[in-house]
Structure 1
């Protein structure tokens, strides 16, 4: 696992809180209890320290806000899941007339103090509560949110952004980020397999191979969030899901499925499959009537064209600089030897866990060299 400050990631803290919730007497009460654990996990300062120190993440958001300043200047912004309020402050500094910063975690208490310390209380209003339950008295021009979880969809925060969009965003309003893409590719990782599995074949000269079945199950049963490199990737990636944040519905997130058929780029052992994502910060289309109604000058039009041609991308791909999201890896129990150009094919299905919709059920089918397998796991 990728560890943050203090040795725990937000996912670790969330998992640590969920154990006592298993005996909740009803589905609705169970969901409420998991939600409470989720927001409690995000009240811990180490979680926000980890995210803010992720320079790829934070600097890309700041650059996107600055690049879209012409759409934020004198406008109303909603920050969904504001955390410490850093994105809200970026928007205020970009000239927003009003920023509503909403978070259901108690970290919002600190966000209020941070806003006050930066003399921005007149521009930023911090609201403590769930986006689905709070009230805002006006429509907003812009929604900004860092909603992505491990494997993009873990924690299901995108549904909260959708709720905010449908409740308050003006027609043609801006959502940052605007698009997201989830990818999958087969990988080889002999070092990882050797460290966790082959180790048991010779332990201080003792044959401990009877440990192998248990070792494989314990090491690779659950998805692992860890950093791999481009050298581990066996093929070009397959798109699992393309998301347009302006039009995506909650129902589309309940079940995501994709088929893949790729050719290995080398002779290697197939050790598993990795998933990662990109998000893109694009502006909405501007029609001539929009331009006329906004009384845009030539300079502003030039800035818009420049922004459109230079859309920012925040990538968690293995070949890019690592982020706190790393990659999500589904290791298989027994490696498959593949040759260059050998086909690896199958399908992957992601569905919301019935007990806790923030968790993801993963159904992976894969085949190569005449061998077919199925792997079931939960990202929890």
Structure 2
């Protein structure tokens, strides 16, 4: 990235247009539906709440292809309002018709902030989560819908979200950093001067969205935040903070922190259903958010990795998340680093 050119901040309408346009292509919907952990957990949660849904009015916020709306109709919902802002709503209409549910599911093109419903709702369902939980998430829209449309005591699926962190050792990064020192032996050209440039690029402030293997996680996770969707406010989402303290399993080198989330669904049998994006669980399309530190630090059994994480919206786009970390490893001095997901990441994945 050139430091001599200042990026132009897009106005809110342009930001929203870019966000919704990214959901107009089939690829992202294919990725989400094909994520069996995501889709099967939502289906199970909806069907296990059939008693609360049967004959009731449901609002699906950010309905996409309408698959969650169909699940709700299959669970016996009397009426489902499937609200979707982007052009994929046209395909949702076709899917609803193909499943012969147009008498119970109404697809509404627009955002929940701008549309009007003829009645209050008993249930809100939404798959609103983004990378690192809050990047490009629709949680703000869910909270708006909750405050405007949900009846007192109504059901929200999911109802709670939690964020976790753990130190990790990424051997691939170490191999990439060492690569330029190996070129001379392979090709007879000394390119070791590239090492500093590679380090600036690889260990930048970008949040890497990538799967982390269990073997690379160096401690038990620490929970850094919990959001109760029945009470959290939009203002509270502007600053999500949490402290963490982890003790390492054994000798290794910490070169990153790994952040992931879970969401919890209440169920009628007084049990809960959890959708987890943990590296200890089957992989989802959210993978994990990896924050690469400026320098690897050697650790031993029980070395403490501790600090505070602060998540907040980017100044350039309210939907983009920044993560600031203050941390210490063992007896080393405190370090600080701020991370964000690079522009164009979502488009690059499609």
TM-score by length of 2: 0.92
- Deviation track 1:48-78 (CA, whole Å, cap 9, x = no partner) reads 0000000000000000011000001000000
Q: Aligned pair count?
A: 332
Shift of 1:341: 0.8
Classify the secondary structure of the residue corresponding to 2:253: strand
Q: Please tell me whether residue 370 in structure 1 is matched to residue 318 in structure 2.
A: no
1:353-364 matched pairs, under 5 angstroms: 353-364=314-325
- In structure 2, the gaps of 5 or more residues are 1-5, 343-350
Q: Please tell me whether residue 193 in structure 1 is matched to residue 154 in structure 2.
A: no
Match of residue 219 from structure 1: 202
Match of residue 3 from structure 2: none
Classify the secondary structure of the residue corresponding to 1:84: coil
Q: Please tell me whether residue 32 in structure 1 is matched to residue 13 in structure 2.
A: yes
Shift of 1:194: 2.9
1: distance between equivalents of 2:19 and 2:72? 26
Q: Please tell me whether residue 116 in structure 1 is matched to residue 77 in structure 2.
A: no
Q: Please tell me whether residue 131 in structure 1 is matched to residue 112 in structure 2.
A: yes
Contact 1:22 1:30 in 2 (8 A): no
1: distance between equivalents of 2:145 and 2:239? 21
Aligned-CA RMSD value: 1.5
Shift of 1:333: 2.7
Q: Which has the higher helix share?
A: 1
1: distance between equivalents of 2:39 and 2:151? 26
The change in CA–CA distance for 1:22 and 1:333 in structure 2 (over 3 A counts) is closer
1:108-257 matched pairs, under 5 angstroms: 108-190=89-171, 192-205=172-185, 206-221=189-204, 222-257=206-241
Contact 1:350 1:363 in 2 (8 A): yes
Match of residue 277 from structure 1: 261
- Deviation track 1:240-291 (CA, whole Å, cap 9, x = no partner) reads 21011111100111011222222111110001100001111015xxxxxxxx
TM-score by length of 1: 0.85
Classify the secondary structure of the residue corresponding to 1:261: strand
The change in CA–CA distance for 1:61 and 1:225 in structure 2 (over 3 A counts) is same
Shift of 1:209: 2.2
Shift of 1:31: 1.4
Q: What is the aligned counterpart of 2:252 among 268, 272, 276?
A: 268
- In structure 1, the gaps of 5 or more residues are 1-20, 284-303
